[in-house]
Amino acid sequence: MAKDVIIVDNLTKIFDKNLVAVDHISFTVKEGEVFGLLGPNGAGKTTTINMLVTVLKPTEGRASILGYDIVKQASIVRRLIGVVPQDYTADEDLTGYENIILCGDLYGIPREVSKKTALELLEFLGLMKFKDKKVETYSGGMRRRLELACGLVNKPKVLFLDEPTLGLDVQTRAAIWEYIKRLREEYNMTILMTTHYMEEADNLCDRIAIIDHGKIVVMGSPEELKNSIGSDVVEVEIKEKDDILDMIQKIEYVKDVKKVGESSYLIRLENGERTAPEIIEFIRDSGLHVVKLSLRKPSLDEVFLTYTGRAIRDIEESRESLMTRRILLRRARG
């Protein structure tokens, strides 16, 4: 069984005595797992990561990484983890290569080792061509990859990614996803990431914790979460005008059927992939013909809506209150 690499126990951060950014959260991440903290901006994701990477001190609670306490053994923790912050932190006046070497020096990695690693990383992230260009000439995607390189220079066992694709276009985002997947598959790296993009969490994470107002609302694999809010939806249309309402109702896993057109039915059911073929066979066996069938899975958007009572988009829209909270948190974080 994979061991627990990150253990978080009632971690809490209160800024300036009354701004509760993170409110008693607990979770564990297993070796080789990609764990996502999903939530809107200002939910406390970055504050959580900052505490785990020892840049912020928790007000209450404990956490350990690879068995080392993040407060008492902070310097050991720092040696073992890689951090890719949300902001671009590379030095613009230096070249990409120089930035990676600088990071290597900060980790106390012997130069001959870090030089080799830097080239490996530049190659891995497709930055070899720009290695000797100043960072100020880099595009957003290139900068993000450079941040990734700096976070990987000490060959960490655990990698922390804070909003790894924030503000990137779709293609660049997909490329970053690819790198993250490879890190996990090829090096069995344990990754904790934050995001407020549903697709990203769905695509990359083995398990997700939805976090809102500093609290974990719900936790589980994307599948579990989607299943937990109920059902898949199958829409079926048949050639004939016969009423099959009662017939479908009897099929296992079907929860509820509605007739939505002359010969169209909306079926709410569990385990959609397995049940849908059964429905087709059932209709055929009755001598009828299926003209059209579609299966819709619930998305994480719906999960978020169900558990927080709001769509993540709505939260994005109430910009004013969001910005105030964000600025407040940012100031407090420093």
Partner 1 sequence: MKIESYSQPVFKSILQGLFALMNRELKKWIKEPIILLMAVLQPIMWMVLFGKSMNIGAIFSANTFKNINLPDLKIPGELVNPPIDGLITIPGSILSENIENLLSIIGGQALENVFGISDYFSYLAVGMISMITIFTSTFSGMSIVWDRRLGFLYKVLSTPVPRPAILFSKVLNAAIRSIFQSTIVFGLAILLGVRFSPSFSLINLLGIYLAIFLFSIGLSSLFVALALRSTRHETQIAVVNLTTMPLMFTSNAFFPTSLMPDWLQTIAKINPVSYMTDALRQLTIYSMDVPILLLDFTYLALFATSLSVLGMTLAWRFLVR
Contact residues for partner 1 (CB under 8 A)? 53-57, 75, 78-79, 81, 83, 85, 87-89, 91, 93-94, 102-103, 105-110, 113, 117, 120-121, 124, 150, 152, 154-157, 186-187, 331, 333-334
In the complex, least distance from residue 36 CB atom to partner 1, rounded to whole angstroms: 20
d(CA 50, CA 150) in angstroms, rounded, equals: 17
In the complex, least distance from residue 177 CB atom to partner 1, rounded to whole angstroms: 19
The amino acid occupying position 193 is M
In the complex, least distance from residue 179 CB atom to partner 1, rounded to whole angstroms: 12
Nearer to partner 1 by Cβ, of 255 and 331: the residue is 331
φ, ψ at 268 (rounded to 5°)? -95, 130
Q: At 19, list the tokens.
A: 């701004």
CA nearest to 191, candidates 235, 168, 159, 163: 159
Nearer to partner 1 by Cβ, of 91 and 256: the residue is 91
In the complex, least distance from residue 332 CB atom to partner 1, rounded to whole angstroms: 8
Nearer to partner 1 by Cβ, of 143 and 196: the residue is 143
In the complex, least distance from residue 293 CB atom to partner 1, rounded to whole angstroms: 46
In the complex, least distance from residue 260 CB atom to partner 1, rounded to whole angstroms: 53
CB crowding 197-218: b at 16 or more within 10 Å, else e: bbebbbbbbebbbbbbbbbbbb
Nearer to partner 1 by Cβ, of 155 and 215: the residue is 155
Contact residues for 120 (Cβ-Cβ < 8 A; gap 6+): none
Nearer to partner 1 by Cβ, of 36 and 156: the residue is 156
Three-class secondary structure assignment of 6-39: EEEEEEEEEECCCEEEEEEEEEEEECCCEEEEEC
Q: Do residues 244 and 286 touch, judged by C-beta distance below 8 A?
A: yes
Q: With 0-12 CB in 10 A as exposed, 13-18 as middle and 19+ as buried, what is 6?
A: buried
Nearer to partner 1 by Cβ, of 134 and 310: the residue is 134
Q: With 0-12 CB in 10 A as exposed, 13-18 as middle and 19+ as buried, what is 16?
A: exposed
Q: With 0-12 CB in 10 A as exposed, 13-18 as middle and 19+ as buried, what is 172?
A: middle
Nearer to partner 1 by Cβ, of 47 and 275: the residue is 47
In the complex, least distance from residue 123 CB atom to partner 1, rounded to whole angstroms: 10
